Amino acid sequence: MNGSRFSGIFIPVLAVFLGILVGSIVMLVSGFNPIAGYSALLYGAFGDSYYIGETIRQMTPYILAGLAVAFAFRTGLFNIGVEGQLIVGWLAAVWVGVSFELPKIIHLPLAILAAAAAGALWAFIPGFLKARFKVHEVIVTIMMNYIALHVTNAIIRSVLSDKGFKSETIYPSASLRSSFLESLTDYSTMHIGILIALLGAMIMWFLLEKTTKGYELRAVGFNQHASQYAGMNVNRNIMLAMVISGAFAGAAGAMEGLGTFENISVKGGFTGVGFDGIAVALLGGNTAIGVVLSALLFGALKVGALEMPSSADVPTELVDIIIALIIFFVASSYLIRLILTRLKKEGK
């Protein structure tokens, strides 16, 4: 195993360890028992089949949101608009789910494809502006998050409901729910979307690592001028990278709209899944397998935190502190690498 690969595995693991360690100190200073807190968190995430099902359900959209961010990062782009792309994907999936009554073999794939297409279209706009006018994608994607939120809420009120706050429930033929998985996990909200999320991870890995187009996308992200000199169409690849990233984000919205909730409602703010996807991608090293493992950790933290107040009298906000600490230490990976290099040199 070479040094860079070892570093890519060791740094995230160290970041998680440090986040948990500092989180323990915060618990102690706040007057809580960290052993009881973490025990409750582990039980709430993996204690029985119901909790395991809930953890897998929670990690499902995290995987796709993380893939959306990671794919953009790997191609030299910063897609901070995953939240907005997820919301429009959620809207498109539910719209198809409530507007048609078709055989499941047609209806469910159609709803998921509609969500991916909506996310891709929403991401195409900043991709086009980046490629054509050199407008930085971070600024555009951040603004489009708010546009997506408010436009979606307006459509829910005026089109998908009679001035209500949520849409009708989708037809069963468009649902990701599985009676087999529910009975297997003591009637949790786990659904077959986890299979779609894992398929998405395989698609990203295969596309970036095993295809000529993936090499071209990564080359453009690494050095646009050299890629253009080599005969690659830089502008087209920028737009394509954003479109693929947006498709992953839109599919994440479908997981919520067709699986977890089976409707869409007017929300006071963002879902947070798209923003958490940034942390998932960073912790996962922007690799497909890393994103899956990172999503599992974040899903366990989010679901397990619900058990902490009742079992250990620890407020759930402490889990948000731990997640923030993990992100901080991942973002500080350069400093960690520098310290490790210095210690290695001193040891010689």
CATH number at residue 119: 1.10.3470
What domain count does the chain have? 1
When pLDDT is averaged across residues 293-316 and rounded to a whole number, the result is 92
When pLDDT is averaged across residues 178-203 and rounded to a whole number, the result is 96
* DSSP β-bridge partners for residue 110: none
pLDDT band at 5 (very low <50, low <70, confident <90, very high): low
For the whole model, what pTM was predicted? 0.94
* C-alpha torsion angle, residues 220, 225, 227, 229 (rounded to 10): 170
DSSP string, 91-131: HHHHHHHHH----HHHHHHHHHHHHHHHHHHHHHHHHHHHH
When pLDDT is averaged across residues 240-257 and rounded to a whole number, the result is 98
Q: Which of 140-144, 253-257, 291-295, 329-333 has the lowest mean pLDDT?
A: 329-333
pLDDT of 2: 58
pLDDT digits (tens, 9 = 90+) for 55-70: 999 999 999 999 999 9
pLDDT of 4: 61
pLDDT of 1: 47
Task: Check pLDDT > 70 for residue 166.
Answer: yes
When pLDDT is averaged across residues 61-87 and rounded to a whole number, the result is 97
> In whole angstroms, how far apart are CA 73 and each of 112, 204, 269, 288, 312?
24, 12, 26, 12, 39
pLDDT of 197: 98
- Which of these, 138, 321, 176, lies nearest to 260 by C-alpha position? 176
Rounded to the nearest integer, the mean pLDDT of the chain is 92
pLDDT of 338: 67
Report yes or no on 135 lying in a domain.
yes
Q: What percent of the chain is modeled with pLDDT above 70? A: 94
Task: Check pLDDT > 70 for residue 335.
Answer: no
pLDDT of 116: 98
Task: Check pLDDT > 80 for residue 170.
Answer: yes
pLDDT of 95: 97
Task: Check pLDDT > 70 for residue 183.
Answer: yes
Q: What percent of the chain is modeled with pLDDT above 90? A: 77
pLDDT of 319: 84
> What ranges make up the beta strands (E) of the chain?
none
Report yes or no on 40 lying in a domain.
no
d(C-alpha 110, C-alpha 65), whole Å: 20
Task: Check pLDDT > 90 for residue 327.
Answer: no
Task: Check pLDDT > 60 for residue 322.
Answer: yes
pLDDT digits (tens, 9 = 90+) for 14-50: 888 988 999 999 999 999 999 999 999 999 999 999 9
When pLDDT is averaged across residues 316-334 and rounded to a whole number, the result is 81
pLDDT of 346: 65
Within a 10 A sphere around the Cβ of 323, how many other Cβ atoms? 20
Report yes or no on 133 lying in a domain.
yes
- Which of these, 211, 223, 290, 226, lies nearest to 76 by C-alpha position? 223
pLDDT band at 168 (very low <50, low <70, confident <90, very high): very high
Report yes or no on 35 lying in a domain.
no
Contact between residue 122 and residue 81 where contact means Cβ atoms under 8 Å apart: yes
pLDDT band at 125 (very low <50, low <70, confident <90, very high): very high
pLDDT of 293: 95
Task: Check pLDDT > 50 for residue 251.
Answer: yes
Give residue 98's Cα distance to chain centre: 25
Report yes or no on 298 lying in a domain.
yes
Report yes or no on 48 lying in a domain.
no
pLDDT of 238: 97
Report yes or no on 13 lying in a domain.
no
When pLDDT is averaged across residues 290-302 and rounded to a whole number, the result is 95
pLDDT band at 267 (very low <50, low <70, confident <90, very high): confident
pLDDT band at 323 (very low <50, low <70, confident <90, very high): confident
Domain region containing 167: 59-307
Task: Check pLDDT > 80 for residue 8.
Answer: no
Report yes or no on 65 lying in a domain.
yes
**Rg of the chain's alpha carbons, rounded to an integer?**
21
- Which of these, 278, 275, 249, lies nearest to 88 by C-alpha position? 249
Q: Phi/psi zone of residue 134: left (φ > 0), alpha (ψ -120 to 50 degrees), beta?
A: left
Contact between residue 45 and residue 51 where contact means Cβ atoms under 8 Å apart: yes
